[in-house]
Amino acid sequence: MKHVLPLFTLGYAVIACLFAVAAVLLMSFAVVDLWHAAIGLDAQTVSDRAADAIESIGMLAVALVALEMAQTVVEEEVVRRVHVSAPTRVRRYLSRFLVVVVVALSIESLVAVVQALHARPDTLPHAAMVAAGAAALLAAWGVFLRLNRSVEELEPEGIPEAKREDHKVQ
């Protein structure tokens, strides 16, 4: 099994790189959309230009998720080489991921609401469902943290051990 673990670390590193590449591509697409919105090519109306700017914000939110996922995978799986099994590590790993996902979904729902109000009001329920999904995910995360706290008390050495690992990424 010890010979297989470096392959997993390599796999995690490759996946993290792909997340980073996707983030850079999305950021470049967002910059191009924002530039087109700013200079107003193709005789667009102000509303169309604003919609393009708002769409670029949505792309940046998704790029942020991809970049944060790359950083999380690198820090947790490549640098620290932590196997997520202890309650403290699970809570930290999921918390890092869910913070970004909830924020990105919230931004996406705001973008979708603004677009729906200006362009297609019939899609407003879809935007509301994205916001409701983000709220439900946030509530579920809170319940998880609350329930995980009691499990963490069964493994009191997990918190100091996780804090000792933090020096590897600082």
The string of DSSP codes covering 52-68 is HHHHHHHHHHHHHHHHH
Range of the domain at 113: 5-169
Q: Are 110 and 74 in contact (CB under 8 A)?
A: no
Q: What is the pLDDT of residue 155?
A: 66
Q: What pLDDT does 160 receive?
A: 59
DSSP, collapsed to helix, strand or coil, labels residue 82 as: coil
In which residue are the tokens 């196997």 written?
83
pLDDT of the residue at 101: 84
Nearest CA to 97 out of 65, 75, 74 is that of 65
The Cα–Cα gap between 167 and 170 comes to: 5
CA-to-CA distance for 62 and 39, rounded, in angstroms? Answer: 24
Domain count within the chain: 1
Task: State pTM to two decimals.
Answer: 0.68
Q: Which two tokens stand for residue 71?
A: 């950083």
Alpha-carbon span 13 to 20, nearest angstrom: 11
Per-residue pLDDT at 158 exceeds 70: no
Q: In whole angstroms, give the CA distance from residue 121 to residue 23.
A: 30
Q: What is the pLDDT of residues 77-130, one digit of tens each?
A: 777 666 555 666 777 777 878 888 888 888 888 888 887 887 788 989 998 999
The mean per-residue pLDDT over the stretch 131-137 comes to 94
* pLDDT in the model for residue 162: 56
Q: Does residue 170 sit in helix, strand or coil?
A: coil
Burial of 59 (0-12, 13-18, 19+ CB in 10 A): buried
Q: What is the pLDDT of residue 43?
A: 65
**CA 164 to the chain's CA centroid:** 25
Q: Are 90 and 84 in contact (CB under 8 A)?
A: yes
The pLDDT tens digits for 11-70 are 888 999 999 999 999 999 999 989 988 887 776 788 778 878 888 888 888 898 889 888
Which pLDDT score, from 0 to 100, does residue 86 have? 63
Query: At 90, phi and psi to the nearest 5?
Result: -60, -45
74: pLDDT confidence band, cut at 50, 70 and 90?
confident
| Region of poorest pLDDT, from 11-20, 97-106, 131-140, 144-153 | 144-153
Question: pLDDT at position 166, please?
Answer: 54
